[in-house]
DNA sequence: CAGCATCCCAGACGATACTG
DNA sequence: CAGTATCGTCTGGGATGCTG
């Protein structure tokens, strides 16, 4: 998933940034706060480490997430955080998420059920 | 571009609907009003007929656009229109479009320049 | 005019194993 | 822990040509 270089309008550029198979899931997971690599992987069932890594690199290149590495003794600790740009992206994504939840996955929801995001 | 069948949340479902390379461009073109196949193709420089066709079929299956066929004498006239669902999708897409225009393609815009969408 | 039918390819995605 | 390194698959997308 390498970014294209010519865009006709803002939407297709944004879609390109966010279009990886797991990108929005990463963004959404990080919306709660910073997460480590392993936490992220466990939080998104189905991603392989390789794909998660490349997606994170791309999001980093696009300025959406920041990667902070640190060492505690011998163990590495890498935390991923949404940048302000990432936060604003998530906000811009919200209406689309509402739309999708409402029109795409609204089959059989019991009233008391926890609503997905 | 066949739709997936399991979604974690609304956003990734929506991204899946709108994730084709030319989908948002189609949606945006149709936002002004119904267009014929040829008009659509000319309005989106770069799409091949095959891809435009498949994208349109998928959008049709998802209930985003409607296809209306008619004959005027010997010539076919096929018009594509946004359904109400498609209109609502376009509205949900607007904030993301704003975000992309602002943060992704804001390099070197002269003050008097026409602003892309 | 509005498309199918074919053939083809890059690269996104996945599975598995290994490492600093 | 947080990744690389390989290898393999799959399919979205493109090029070209033909048709009702």
The average confidence (pLDDT) of chain B is 92
Q: Cα separation of A88 and B82, whole Å?
A: 28
Q: Is the CB of A46 under 7 A from strand C?
A: yes
Q: Which two tokens stand for residue B21?
A: 């390379």
Architecture per CATH, domain A10-98, reads as Orthogonal Bundle (1.10)
CA dihedral of A98, A99, A100, A102, whole degrees rounded to 10:
80
Q: Which residues of chain A fall short of a pLDDT of 50?
A: none
Q: Which two tokens stand for residue A95?
A: 């209406």
Q: Cα separation of A26 and A113, whole Å?
A: 24
Q: Cα separation of A82 and A34, whole Å?
A: 7
User: What confidence score (pLDDT) does residue B55 get?
Assistant: 98
pLDDT digits (tens, 9 = 90+) for B24-71: 999 999 999 999 999 999 999 999 999 999 999 999 999 999 999 999
Q: Where are the domains of chain B?
A: 10-98
Angstrom distance, B53 CA to D13 C1'? 12
In chain B, pLDDT over 70 holds for what percent of residues? 91
- pLDDT tier, B2 (very low <50, low <70, confident <90, very high otherwise): confident
**Which has the higher per-residue pLDDT, A6 or B13?**
B13
Q: Is the CB of A78 under 7 A from strand C?
A: no
Of B12, B97, B116, the CB nearest to A14: B97
Tell whether B18 lies on the interface with A, counting CB pairs under 8 A. yes
Q: Which two tokens stand for residue B40?
A: 């659509």
Taking the complete model, does pTM exceed 0.75, yes or no?
yes
Q: How many CB atoms lie within 10 A of CB A11?
A: 27
Q: Is the Cβ–Cβ distance between B7 and A96 less than 8 Å?
A: no
Q: Cα separation of B48 and B14, whole Å?
A: 24
Mean pLDDT of B8-14: 94
Q: Is the CB of A76 under 7 A from strand C?
A: yes
**Which has the higher per-residue pLDDT, B25 or B72?**
B25
Q: Which nucleotides of D are covered by protein (CB under 7 A)?
A: 1-6, 11-17, 20
Q: Which protein residue lies nearest to nucleotide D6, measured between its Cα and the C1' atom?
A: A50
User: What confidence score (pLDDT) does residue A109 get?
Assistant: 55
Q: Which residue has the tokens 């008097």?
A: B112
């Amino acid at each position: 998933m390498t970014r294209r270089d010519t865009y006709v309008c803002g939407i297709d550029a944004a879609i390109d940034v966010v279009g990886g198979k797991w990108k929005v899931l990463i963004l959404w997971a990080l919306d709660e706060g910073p997460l480590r690599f392993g936490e992220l992987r466990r939080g998104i069932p189905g991603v392989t480490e390789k794909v998660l890594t490349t997606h994170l690199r791309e999001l980093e290149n696009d300025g959406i997430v920041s990667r902070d590495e640190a060492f505690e003794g011998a163990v590495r600790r890498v935390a991923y955080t949404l940048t302000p740009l990432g936060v604003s992206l998530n906000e811009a994504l919200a209406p689309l998420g509402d739309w999708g939840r409402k029109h795409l996955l609204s089959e059989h929801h019991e009233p008391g059920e926890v609503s997905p995001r």
